[in-house]
């Protein structure tokens, strides 16, 4: 089985779904676009529900406003979801992941740092939205700082990665993936 993510750059995944943004993504992407985080949220985002039922910010438009000529205009600093979601057109990969509950295998193997950043960011965003109705830099910054400090805490990161492996990976592959991410 080939685990390499093959992208034909058709732009379909960017046109057909509302992409989630975490608090970390909001600060990162708005800084790269030289926008104030609050202006960025007001212009591009709305509060919605993520795939696991958690509250999250979503791009308002179903077609992503950062897609230009079928390419991502913010590719270098695109949100963590775009770094950790398998191609919806890759049927072989989709069938395999469905059968073996390996939703995130490729990313666990090839870029666990993106996966962990995405999971921690999503968790922090859910907590933020449960406590705050409106995005404010001052309050959001605290959640961002807490999450970034957790991202530098190797024990915390390893515990979360092992939890993800237990939830998302078929038992047959757990030992192999855990060994690999421990080395990274
Ligand atoms: S990930 Fe898939 S759907 Fe998205 S641009 Fe690449 S080939 Fe198209
Ligand atoms: S940020 Fe880039 S990769 Fe992500 S949905 Fe938008 S255009 Fe696609």
Residue 165: the pLDDT is: 80
Residues 6+ apart with CB under 8 A from 36: 30, 137
pLDDT by 10-residue block (mean), the chain, 184 residues: 65 90 97 98 94 88 93 93 78 66 63 84 94 95 96 88 78 78 71
Q: Identify whether 5 is part of a domain.
A: no
The domain tally of the chain equals 1
Expressed in angstroms and rounded, the spacing between residue 9 Cα and the centre of ligand 1 is 5
Full domain range(s) for residue 83: 12-183
Q: Identify whether 4 is part of a domain.
A: no
Q: Identify whether 2 is part of a domain.
A: no
Expressed in angstroms and rounded, the spacing between residue 10 Cα and the centre of ligand 1 is 5
- Predicted TM-score of the model (pTM): 0.85
Q: Identify whether 142 is part of a domain.
A: yes
Q: Are 128 and 140 in contact (CB under 8 A)?
A: yes
Surface-to-core class of residue 71, CB atoms within 10 Å of its CB (0-12 exposed, 13-18 middle, 19+ buried)? exposed
Is 71 touching ligand 1 by the criterion CB < 6 Å?
Answer: no
Residue 148: the pLDDT is: 94
Expressed in angstroms and rounded, the spacing between residue 74 Cα and the centre of ligand 2 is 7
Is 9 touching ligand 1 by the criterion CB < 6 Å?
Answer: yes
Q: Identify whether 6 is part of a domain.
A: no
Q: Which residue, judged by its Cα, is nearest atom 1 of ligand 1?
A: 87
Q: Identify whether 25 is part of a domain.
A: yes
Secondary structure in 3-state letters for 108-155: HHHCHHHHHHHHHHHHHHHHHHHHCCCCCHHHHHHHHHHHHHHHCCHH
Is 145 touching ligand 1 by the criterion CB < 6 Å?
Answer: no
Residue 1: the pLDDT is: 45
| Residue of 8, 11, 12, 14 with the most ligand 2 atoms within 8 Å of its CB, for mutation | 14
Q: Identify whether 177 is part of a domain.
A: yes
Q: Identify whether 17 is part of a domain.
A: yes
């Amino acid at each position: 089985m080939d685990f390499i993510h093959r992208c034909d750059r058709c732009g379909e995944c960017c046109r057909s779904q509302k992409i989630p943004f975490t608090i970390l993504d909001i600060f990162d992407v708005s800084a790269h676009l030289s926008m104030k985080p609050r202006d960025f949220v007001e212009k591009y985002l709305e509060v919605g529900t993520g795939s696991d039922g958690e509250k999250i910010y979503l791009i308002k438009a179903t077609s992503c406003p950062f897609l230009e000529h079928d390419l991502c205009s913010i590719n270098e600093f695109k949100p963590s979801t775009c770094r950790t979601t398998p191609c919806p057109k890759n049927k072989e990969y989709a069938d395999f992941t469905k059968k073996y509950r390996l939703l995130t295998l490729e990313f666990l193997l090839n870029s666990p740092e993106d996966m962990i950043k995405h999971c921690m960011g999503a968790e922090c965003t859910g907590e933020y939205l449960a406590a705050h109705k409106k995005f404010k830099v001052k309050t959001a910054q605290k959640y961002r700082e807490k999450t970034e400090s957790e991202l530098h805490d190797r024990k915390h990161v390893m515990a979360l990665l092992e939890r993800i492996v237990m939830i998302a990976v078929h038992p047959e592959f757990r030992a192999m993936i855990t060994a690999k991410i421990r080395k990274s």
